[in-house]
Amino acid sequence: MAMISVDKLNLTFGAGSDANQVLHDVCFEVGAGEAFGLVGESGSGKTTVLRCLAGQYNHWLGTLAIDGETLGRRLDYARCRKVQMVFQDPYGSLHPRHTVETALAEPLAIHGIGDRSARIDAILTKVGLPTSFRWRYPHQLSGGQRQRVAIARALILEPRILLLDEPTSALDVSVQAEILNLLADLRVRDGLTYLLVTHDLGVVAHLCDRVAVMQQGRIVDLLDTAGIVGCNPEHPYTRMLVEASRHYSREMAADGAARPAVADLAA
């Protein structure tokens, strides 16, 4: 059975003549234990899908279901126990005045879970941080360490699904490799389901099994990552993304210039 199922998801901001539809009939399913990628450029709506699942918007139309249960408009305790999120910016996602311990104890306190100290030690070890880090403030951590704390905070409620919003795009290449390895290990060990939003096809190809390509609020291509690795995808937009992530070439840029770029249309 599908762990995440998104059916005909539509979302519009504003009303009347200002209405701006950002999602158009988005449909996909993610199986239990699968890692699914959503790629696209800025404004393609990939993060918006994630935020709908995370309960940040509540005026969407369509059907969202997690673990077979249809989602309501409001965040409830049950959904919090099942779905957690890791954010893009490790500098903005941790409360600057809370120590690691406070940040990790908060979800346990909200859900009335006891044995907090032992759980915090366990989760820190799990994400590869020494337990002595629990008394540090975010400004005493590097970007990679912060992202590990953010992952620990997401996992401490033992969710089944992790929503990953560009979890490594703010990190250096070498740190990105560490975090990607950690995410891959955690998925295997805990049987987690991942929904990863990114603009980096390399990251998707590395971490995910399947990928949906989004453009202007629509899913334009859906393929196995095996279809990206090594061979050329069929859809022209996907092909352009793949080519661009491989290397820069004059011909490709000329190709892109011949077509009206999305950005120019927006201007």
| Interaction residues for other proteins, span 21-80 (CB under 8 A) | 41-42, 54-56, 75-77, 80
Give whichever of 25 and 255 is closer to other proteins, judged by the CB atom.
255
Site for other proteins in 1-20 (CB under 8 A): none
Report which secondary-structure segment, H or E, holds 240. Answer: helix 236-246
Q: Which two structure tokens, joined as six digits, stand for 43?
A: 């404004």
- Do residues 228 and 55 make contact, with C-beta atoms less than 8 angstroms apart? no
> To the nearest 10°, the Cα dihedral for 257, 258, 259, 265?
60
Pick from 96, 114, 115, 189: which binds other proteins (CB under 8 A)?
Answer: 96
- C-beta neighbour count of 143 within 10 angstroms: 17
Residue 83 or 219: the one with the smaller Cβ distance to other proteins is 83
* Min separation Cβ 252 and other proteins, Å: 6
**Least distance (Å) from other proteins to the CB of residue 21?**
19
User: What is the nearest approach in angstroms of other proteins to the Cβ of residue 258?
Assistant: 10
d(C-alpha 116, C-alpha 123), whole Å: 10
Sign of CA dihedral 240, 241, 243, 247: positive
Closer CB to other proteins, 21 or 249, in the complex: 249
Cβ proximity to other proteins: between 23 and 175 the closer is: 175
Between CA 165 and CA 250 the distance in angstroms is 31
CB 213 within 8 A of CB 244: no
What are φ and ψ of residue 250, in 5° steps? -60, -45
Residues 101-130 that bind other proteins (CB under 8 A): 101, 106-107, 110-111
State which of positions 144-163 bind other proteins (CB under 8 A): 150, 153, 157
Contact pattern from residue 177 through residue 216 relative to other proteins, giving x for each residue in contact according to CB under 8 A and a dash for the rest? xx-xx--x--------------xxxxx-xxx---------
